[in-house]
Amino acid sequence: MALSEEDTEEPGTGPRRTGVVKIGKHIVSGDRGFRPGDVLRIEQVIDLLGSSRPLTREILQVLQHKGLVTLRARTGATVEPVERWNVFDRDVIEWRLDIAPRFQMRSLTELREAVEPRAAFLAAQRASADVCRDLVSLALEFKSIGEAPEFEDLTDAGLACRERYRRVDEQFHRMLLQGSQNEMFSALVDQVTRALDFRIEKEWAGAPRLYGDASAAGERSFDPVPGSRERFPRRPEPLALWLHFGLAYAVEQGLRYAAETFARTILAEFHNGYLGNPVLLDALGQALHDLDPGGMREADREPFHNAITGVLLHQGKR
């Protein structure tokens, strides 16, 4: 009997979870004996895991649900090619990020590029008053946390501040997808938030941005060697905070094209050279023109306008 989706959830670190992770990572890594077409016989897996036969069958059933293997009577489990994997499965994403992060992160980012701008467009058209209110509230909180003095502290207070930042970022993008009122977009929340988390984790660990982002001086904005220094977070770019701010207000004001543009610009902000796209810059200028600053807090109006205008002027000169 196939396991239900609920049955395949693997909380904690019990023996079934341990076995699923061990075999799953061997398959995702393409280790010898775990490549597409290879057959994992029950006895082989029992020896590898030191598990009982019933537990081994449960482990292989979970992996079958993830698309990594196909169970066959009296044969064992045949390893499937990546085309057959459930690539949206939470574990499969995690394992691929562990093994080959560049390719998995590229796929997740391209997924965001395909979905989030359209979700923003629809949210501006369809989102309820409650969703609009919450998006603005989250954008204001996001900006406040990103600017907090303790953000870069290597103290418990700093850690708590950064975790709040991560949580609010997730909530903002979750709310955006849900605000689109497209249930298929809403179903991609886990994939989008995992991409957000992975990028934040790598930046805070001192790894380079995956797209080679550079500072205005042409230098990397943080240590390019992961783990080469004590874990120390890089403060969020002010522009990223203002772009989330603009996106929230564009949705709140029902400006579909402006919301779509701010969502595209958020994604372009961490791509090397993408902010120089003249089509995007034209759209950003129009979005700034369409947005009514009267709906913002007075203290935020001029800094927001200056931040977006600064992008238009700086990138337009390149």
275/199 Cα distance (integer angstroms) = 18
Strand order through the sheet with 69-72: 39-40, 76-79, 69-72
189/176 Cα distance (integer angstroms) = 10
For the segment 16-37, the average pLDDT, to the nearest whole number, is 95
Please list, in sequence order, all residues whose beta carbon lies within 8 angstroms of the beta carbon of residue 163, skipping any fewer than 6 positions away: none
Half-sphere exposure of residue 269: CA atoms within 13 angstroms, side-chain side: 21
Nearest CA to 136 out of 298, 303, 304, 296 is that of 296
Whether the predicted pLDDT of 164 surpasses 70: yes
Angle at 222 (CA atoms; ends 218, 228), nearest 5 degrees: 135
Identify the pLDDT of residue 201.
74
Identify the pLDDT of residue 1.
35
Q: Which of helix, strand or coil describes residue 76?
A: strand
Least confident piece of the model among 77-86, 160-169, 172-181, 221-230: 221-230
Query: Residues spanned by CATH 1.20.120.530 within the chain?
Result: 101-316
175/75 Cα distance (integer angstroms) = 46
188/91 Cα distance (integer angstroms) = 15
Please list, in sequence order, all residues whose beta carbon lies within 8 angstroms of the beta carbon of residue 312, skipping any fewer than 6 positions away: 281, 284, 285, 288
Identify the pLDDT of residue 21.
96
**CATH 3.40.50.300 is right for the domain spanning 15-90:** no
Q: Which of helix, strand or coil describes residue 233?
A: coil
209/303 Cα distance (integer angstroms) = 26
Q: Which residue has the tokens 């050279």?
A: 273
Query: Residues spanned by CATH 1.10.10.10 within the chain?
Result: 15-90
Identify the pLDDT of residue 275.
81
Least confident piece of the model among 4-8, 88-92, 161-165, 235-239: 4-8
Q: What are the tens digits of pLDDT across the range 199-229? A: 777 666 554 443 333 333 433 333 333 443 3
Number of H helices, E strands in the chain: 13, 3
Q: What's the full length of the chain, in residues?
A: 318
The answer to whether 172 touches 118, Cβ cutoff 8 Å, is no
The answer to whether 10 touches 17, Cβ cutoff 8 Å, is yes
313 burial via Cβ count (<10 Å: 0-12, 13-18, 19+): exposed
Identify the pLDDT of residue 227.
40
101-316 CATH choice from 1.10.3720.10, 1.20.120.530, 3.30.413.10, 3.30.950.10: 1.20.120.530
Identify the pLDDT of residue 82.
94
Of 95 and 4, which is predicted with more confidence? 95
100/259 Cα distance (integer angstroms) = 33
209/198 Cα distance (integer angstroms) = 11
Whether the predicted pLDDT of 33 surpasses 90: yes
Q: What are phi and psi of 9, to 5 degrees?
A: -65, 135
Nearest CA to 185 out of 118, 125, 92 is that of 118
Place 8 in a pLDDT band, splitting at 50, 70 and 90: very low
Q: What is the mean pLDDT of the chain?
A: 85
Q: Which of helix, strand or coil describes residue 248?
A: helix
Q: Which two tokens stand for residue 219?
A: 């230098």
